[in-house]
A and B are shown apart, each in its own frame.
Chain A
Amino acid sequence: KQEVTQIPAALSVPEGENLVLNCSFTDSAIYNLQWFRQDPGKGLTSLLLIQSSQREQTSGRLNASLDKSSGRSTLYIAASQPGDSATYLCARGNAGNMLTFGGGTRLMVKP
């Protein structure tokens, strides 16, 4: 069974801090690894998608890395802001891009 695990489950940091969210997955034969953000009561917003042939992707203050051999991905958030407070979900995509999600990390950035 494909599994995706996210650590930590919850994280609280002061504004301005750099932080790393972790995601691990079984089965290195993934097609892509995606990071999403979910705000309370809302749907998911895509942040970054890393194809299996890539090692990382960057968008603004966000950087995501992928290490297939170790089954790990990290999401790095630089200079965190209160507006970054949300639940962050990682998901591995298979051949049809059907996603298997981790349990998420609830992030709180305090002003």
Chain B
Amino acid sequence: GAGVSQSPSNKVTEKGKDVELRCDPISGHTALYWYRQSLGQGLEFLIYFQGNSAPDKSGLPSDRFSAERTGGSVSTLTIQRTQQEDSAVYLCASSSRLAGGREETQYFGPGTRLLVL
């Protein structure tokens, strides 16, 4: 079946511009995660959506970052007033929940490579 898809695959923008990154999770997966992978910081968690619950935003680095998930499916990560340090690969993952509340493995998309000039 189809995996997690992300768009665009690459994005080049100018400092100060806003960008939107999109994630289409695997159909039926209730959990959706955004991560960021940069040279200096490795792979770090940004935000987590689970069903209709309020998202866990504890990993967002600043208030310029926000994300929403519409209809429990597609998610958009928005970065406002981009800075050069925002340059990174942004990865999305989704997973389902096993019986007993345990989480299944996360399936990752190919990522969006963001370059802020």
Contacts and interface: CB of A to CB of B under 8 A. Distances in A.
Q: How large is the interface on A (under 10, 10 to 19, 20 to 34, 35 or more residues)?
A: 20 to 34
Contacts of A79: none
Interface stretch (B12-20, B39-47, B62-70, B76-84): B39-47
Given A98-B48, A101-B43, A43 B106 contact: no
Interface in B78-117: 91, 93, 95, 102-111
Given A34-B105, A101-B42, A101-B43, A43 B95 contact: no
A96 B91 contact: no
A101 B44 contact: yes
A28 interface: no
Contact of B42 (A31, A45, A46, A104): A104
Contacts, number: 58
Contacts of A96: 31, 48, 50, 56, 103
Contact of A49 (B4, B91, B105, B109): B105
A6 B50 CA distance: 29
Contact of B103 (A89, A93, A100, A101): A93
Interface of B: 4, 31, 33, 35, 42-45, 48, 50, 56, 58-59, 91, 93, 95, 102-111
Given A43-B4, A96-B48, A99-B106, 6 more contacts: A44-B91, A49-B104, A96-B31, A98-B45, A98-B56, A101-B35
